[in-house]
Amino acid sequence: MGVLMSRVAIVGVGWYGFKPTTIDVSFQDMMFESSARAYANAKIDPRYDVDAFVDCQEDMWEGIAISDEFAPEPIGGALRPTFTVAGDGLEGIAHAYMLIKTGHFNVVSVESHGKPSEIKTLQDIYRFALDPLHVRPLDYVNPLFYAGLDAVAYMKRTGAKREHLAMVAVKNKNNGLSNERASFSTRIDLDYVLSSSYSIYPMTNYEIAPFSDASITFVLANEDYAKKLTENPVWIEGIGYSTETGTGATEWHEWGKMKSFRSAALMAYKMANLNGNPQVDFAEIEDRFSFMELLALEETMLVKEGEAHKMLEKGDLNRDGFLPVNPSGGSLSMGVQLEATGLSRLLEAYLQLTGKAGNHQLKNVRRGLVASWRGVPTYTSMVALLSV
Amino acid sequence: MRSNIFMKDRVAIVGAGITTFMRRALETPRELAWEAAKMALDSAGLTLSDIDCVVIGSAPDTFDGMHLKGEYLGDGSGAINKPMTRVYVGGGTGVFVPESAYWHVASGVCKKVLVVAEEKMSPAHPHPQYVFKYIWDPIIERPLGPNLLWIFAMEMRRYMAKCGAKKEDIALVSVKNKRNALDHPAALTAANITVDDVLKSETLVWPVNLLDVSPVTDGAAALIMTSENVAREITDSPVWVDGIGFTLENQHWYNRELAFPRYLNYAARMAYKMAGIERPWKEIDVAEPYDPFDYKELHHIEGLMLARPCEAWKLVREGYFDRNGELPTSPSGGLLGVGNPIAAAGLMKVAELFWQLRYEAGKRQVKKPVHKAVANAWGDLMQAGTVIVLSN
Amino acid sequence: MSYDKRNRMEDLVIFPGEQEVEKYVYTPGIHGLEFAKGLKEGKILGMKCKDKIYVPPKTFCPDFTQGELIEINDEWILVSYTIVYQDMYKNNLPNPKIIGVIKPKNAETGLIHLLNVPLDKLEIGIKLKPVFKPENERNGTINDIKYFELS
Amino acid sequence: MSSKINKLPGIKLKEKEMYSLIGLVEDMPQAKYDFAAGTTISKFLEGLKEGKILGRKCPKCGRIFVPPRSYCEWCHVATNEWIEVPQTGEIHTAVITYISTKREKIERPEVVGTIKLDVPGYRDGEYEFAGLFHKICVDPQDVISGKAIGMKVKVRWKPKEERKGNILDIECFEPL
């Protein structure tokens, strides 16, 4: 059997944080905490057993130019093949997947972290990502307006109503109540959401995910090693990522759609030799804005176009429904951890598939989908298909 | 890392593009990326629709003044409804992007990859060097008010002390590279200068003078990399990636010996092993060692094992590394001569080897026959070593 | 350090830092420069890529070919809109901002800009027109257009 | 390349031309942070205020790290012991700076460098050592002549009342 045929598995994971602030640790301490747990979980010594280290971060989030300088030590990658991906952790997983598939690397670790609590001027940092010529100079105040534009266009196209967006928040905020990482979960009714005022039309603050600090580390291995290291490997059947357009040309975006989810999903499904709907048992889907959960479900082809809000209304997306979506509570409950957001969703899927999700464990799940987006103002998304 | 006996398909470079290297460009960063990418596509006879993946390299966001710079460069780099990621190891990024493209192809995930590196340093005011204040540890180092040149000067001073090299020996590298660059159409600081000119130029941080340093530059470079089957259809003269290596040292640069670049040596050994090279000093025909500073080329020649530790400066005096010498280094003119748009400069070096190995470098073509070539880049706080070995 | 963390707030240092330069200077780019000149003259330029029109012009087309500059004289349509009531720190804005995507009728893409439209008239598909600042106040940036309003 | 291509893309601007461009945008979004120092660096800074240099020891390899780390980068285990280290050492490398962070000329050139501290457990000539990066109060001529390299130095503290729990509590390293 050739190496190209060898599958890639997740064999260990560790995390630290998921709190609105983490003053007890520096960002590097936090990275050490999560990676030490991951290596313990995989029962390996990173100084000998890991062939390459991937770290995902962005300079302006870190407050450091060339922040990869500070990556190797806490994750065990000093003087080893270590590099950073300026992107979401799921992009790092894609790199690890490819590294292993070349046959030159047996075990690869991926770390990503976000410490938004340390960013004093978060709104300005977001503004810093906007096209300096045609968008940044405008008087919009809040750069998250991009999401509002997509939400309105999406609703117009599919007939989803404001109530449906609110229902996503109700489902996810309540789902989070049984998840130890869901710092922003709360017991709410539809009325609470509908009676609160808009933050960015058509969404209230219940429907816009807040920020939290976390570091997450994954250990990936090829088939031979995976079988040696663990009794319950989770296989990465497919991983895809795609960019619709650059942030210097957001005008080229198709409003109310997310082509990047569709392209990323097609890439992942093709890798898994599947056509269209992969028939998953559950999904951890992008929801940093409520409407995005519905849109991403459709764009990843898990549900038919224009059907997501109807399924939501029927309860199909509930934890006991036909297709449980965000049983963890999603980003609305756990927060956005900047570039670690994709890994936080992958973590939830991994725990479900290994039966370690605790109070929010689903029964009989064998295949799950993770879909994450890099957030405003990007049009880059990642999709991972996992199974046991 | 292990070598892989199952690999049938090799990875090839089949096209390259570059913009003029400029002190100030009218183009926006995304336009610079597009210009280089378009040229690379044209050179391989491809259009954007042929490309299935994009890899971007760019150094700190604080130069261009764009947060999430990879996302910003996306469309200019061809990431329009395509998989795109930006990899990042500081100054080492330029050589690291084609390394990353290597595993995009070698894994079987992508067939035709567009590799783009861009840097626009001119937006940052009052001076791009100010940006480098933020590369230091925010608590232990930044309060000292450091300038980037400090760390290079310290390393150069240490190299001089340990190896017995003098400033005038090291200046020869600047003389050589700026002269080589006279034949490079993209060059920003090509010149016929003397050792004396270097020594008499403004002292910035002793022992570093103005002409020891590469300039602030705007520019972009691009490559097309494909699988072997695809490459055979596109060209009769693909250039093969034989080996890749990368290493990141610890961040505590002031807890380390600075005279020898261990970070690079580890990466070089990884790349040579993969390429099956046992005696690089004999087997490598042409090299593009990273030269943001003149001493850095010597440092890197030693790290790449093209000369013994502390001996590169002696060989420079003998003309060993000249374009018609025994082992030509930086025939392009390097960062000192062509310019230093950080990530794009590293990729320019790989592009130069691509042209050298295809005998397309025109006036820059080295005299001897070439079969194997190596380029490296350095990054971070004397930490990142990235090495790529190519052959024809 | 996994086991001996300090937990008294007064034993933990918070160290301020920044990542700013004095300023950034962004050049308008190739098409951007022509677009800027147009704004100064009260015109909006677009880019023609084969049979498709893109606004604003962005030098190259999505297929990487070079676009051709044209002047837009079409009517403008609202593609989508939103209203910003709060900043990112959840403070209410004294004046909510209405933001829209506005494209010429026959174009593929449009500008992102502020709208001056009564909330009850705000709907996808309405016809709008740009309102420019007085000529002596224009400097070729996107804010030369004050906003779009009902036509 | 050059055999086929004569003109490369790229439009050069002079400084004046750039500033007179129509549509030029000048901007600097605020980028401010509050870095959590974490337990280890917090305690190190506290030590400086008290006139002490604190190191941290790895339980596995026994290395003493200065500045202290929460974890050993070579063993990837949590460090476990605080050690006060000697305030003497030798200059590893030193340079003379004539420019500021912003690359402006400064009036009085300063000497900066790295100091290898006399911390036990490191062999002579070992690639790694414990030490600091700081200003050095020596004659610039000694840097040029090479006399400074290897010179024995000790910490010169700021007066106690001026110390703030900051790396600048050390004024510089001065010859012993």
Give the ipTM of the model, two decimals please: 0.96
Chains touching chain A, criterion 3+ CB pairs below 8 Å: B, C, D
User: Which chain C residues contact residue B49 at CB under 8 A?
Assistant: 63
Q: Is the pLDDT of residue A305 over 80?
A: yes
D2 vs A16, higher pLDDT: A16
Nearest chain B alpha carbon to C18? B134
Would you say B223 and B350 are in contact if contact means Cβ atoms under 8 Å apart? yes
Per-residue pLDDT, averaged over A318-332, amounts to 97
User: Which chain D residues contact residue A17 at CB under 8 A?
Assistant: none
Neighbours of B28 (CB within 10 A): 29
Contact C111 A137 (CB under 8 A): no
Nearest chain A alpha carbon to B386? A81
Cα R_g (chain A), whole angstroms: 20
Contact D76 A60 (CB under 8 A): no
For residue B266 the two structure tokens come to: 């580890």
Would you say A251 and C58 are in contact if contact means Cβ atoms under 8 Å apart? yes
- Which backbone phi and psi does A176 adopt, to 5 degrees? -65, -20
B31 at interface of C, judged by CB pairs closer than 8 A: yes
User: Which chain A residues contact residue C6 at CB under 8 A?
Assistant: 24
For residue A261 the two structure tokens come to: 């989810």
Question: How far is C-alpha B190 from the chain's CA centre?
Answer: 17
Cβ-nearest to D27 among A23, A125, A132: A132
A118 at interface of D, judged by CB pairs closer than 8 A: yes
Alpha helices in A4-131 (DSSP H): 27-42, 46-49, 59-62, 72-75, 89-101, 122-127
B204 at interface of D, judged by CB pairs closer than 8 A: yes
Cβ-nearest to B145 among D100, D127, D146: D100
> With a cut of 50, which residues of chain C have pLDDT below it?
none
Would you say B214 and B336 are in contact if contact means Cβ atoms under 8 Å apart? yes
Nearest chain D alpha carbon to A26? D38
User: Which chain A residues contact residue C58 at CB under 8 A?
Assistant: 248-249, 251-252
Residue with tokens 């980003």: A331
Cα B260 to Cα A251: distance, rounded to the nearest angstrom: 49
pTM (two decimals): 0.97
Contact B147 D99 (CB under 8 A): yes
> With a cut of 70, which residues of chain B have pLDDT below it?
1-8
Cβ-nearest to C7 among A24, A33, A65: A24
For residue D157 the two structure tokens come to: 């503290």
Cα A336 to Cα A375: distance, rounded to the nearest angstrom: 9
Would you say B57 and B116 are in contact if contact means Cβ atoms under 8 Å apart? yes
Cβ-nearest to A241 among B83, B137, B263: B83
Cβ-nearest to A84 among B72, B80, B89: B89
* Chain B to chain C Cβ contacts (< 8 Å): 67
Q: Is the pLDDT of residue D6 over 80?
A: no
Q: What is the pLDDT of residues A127-152, one digit of tens each?
A: 999 999 999 999 999 999 999 999 99
**Percent of chain A whose predicted confidence (pLDDT) is above 70:** 99
> pLDDT grade, residue D100 (50/70/90)?
confident
From B64, B70, B74, select the one nearest B93 (Cα to Cα).
B70
Contact A25 C114 (CB under 8 A): no
User: Which chain A residues contact residue D71 at CB under 8 A?
Assistant: 29, 32, 36, 73-74
Contacts of D147 (CB under 8 A, 6+ apart): none
C19 at interface of D, judged by CB pairs closer than 8 A: yes
User: Which chain A residues contact residue B1 at CB under 8 A?
Assistant: 51-52, 81, 104-105
For residue A183 the two structure tokens come to: 């710092």
Name the fold adopted by B11-125+215-391. Answer: Peroxisomal Thiolase; Chain A, domain 1 (3.40.47)
Contact A95 B262 (CB under 8 A): no
Cα B122 to Cα B22: distance, rounded to the nearest angstrom: 9
C84 at interface of D, judged by CB pairs closer than 8 A: no
Residue A131 distance to chain B (closest CA, Å): 8
User: Which chain B residues contact residue C13 at CB under 8 A?
Assistant: 139
Q: What is the pLDDT of residues D52-80, one digit of tens each?
A: 999 999 999 999 999 999 999 999 999 99
Average pLDDT for chain D:
94
Question: How far is C-alpha A174 from the chain's CA centre?
Answer: 19
Cβ-nearest to D35 among A60, A63, A136: A63
User: Which chain D residues contact residue B361 at CB under 8 A?
Assistant: 1-2
Contact D38 A28 (CB under 8 A): yes
Cβ-nearest to C18 among D21, D33, D80: D33
For residue B354 the two structure tokens come to: 């691509």
| Structural domains of chain A, with CATH | 8-120+212-229 (3.40.47.10)
- Which backbone phi and psi does A214 adopt, to 5 degrees? -165, 155
A21, A26, A117, A130: which to substitute to probe chain D, counting the most D Cβ within 10 Å? A26
B210 at interface of D, judged by CB pairs closer than 8 A: no
Average pLDDT for chain A:
96
Cα B146 to Cα B152: distance, rounded to the nearest angstrom: 12
Contact D8 B25 (CB under 8 A): no
Domain ranges of chain B: 11-125+215-391
Query: Between the CA of residue D77 and those of A35, A76, A108, D56, D65, what are the distances in Å?
Result: 11, 9, 19, 12, 13
Nearest chain B alpha carbon to D140? B206
Cβ-nearest to C80 among A60, A134, A256: A256
| Structural domains of chain C, with CATH | 24-150 (2.40.50.140)
Nearest chain C alpha carbon to B138? C17
Contacts of A290 (CB under 8 A, 6+ apart): A165, A166, A168, A169, A172, A203, A206, A207, A208, A332
Cβ-nearest to A133 among D25, D31, D71: D25
Contact C26 A132 (CB under 8 A): yes
> pLDDT grade, residue A355 (50/70/90)?
very high
Cα B391 to Cα C12: distance, rounded to the nearest angstrom: 55
A131 at interface of D, judged by CB pairs closer than 8 A: no
Contact D25 A132 (CB under 8 A): yes
Identify the pLDDT of residue B5.
45
For residue B15 the two structure tokens come to: 């096209």
> pLDDT grade, residue A2 (50/70/90)?
very low
Identify the pLDDT of residue A1.
37
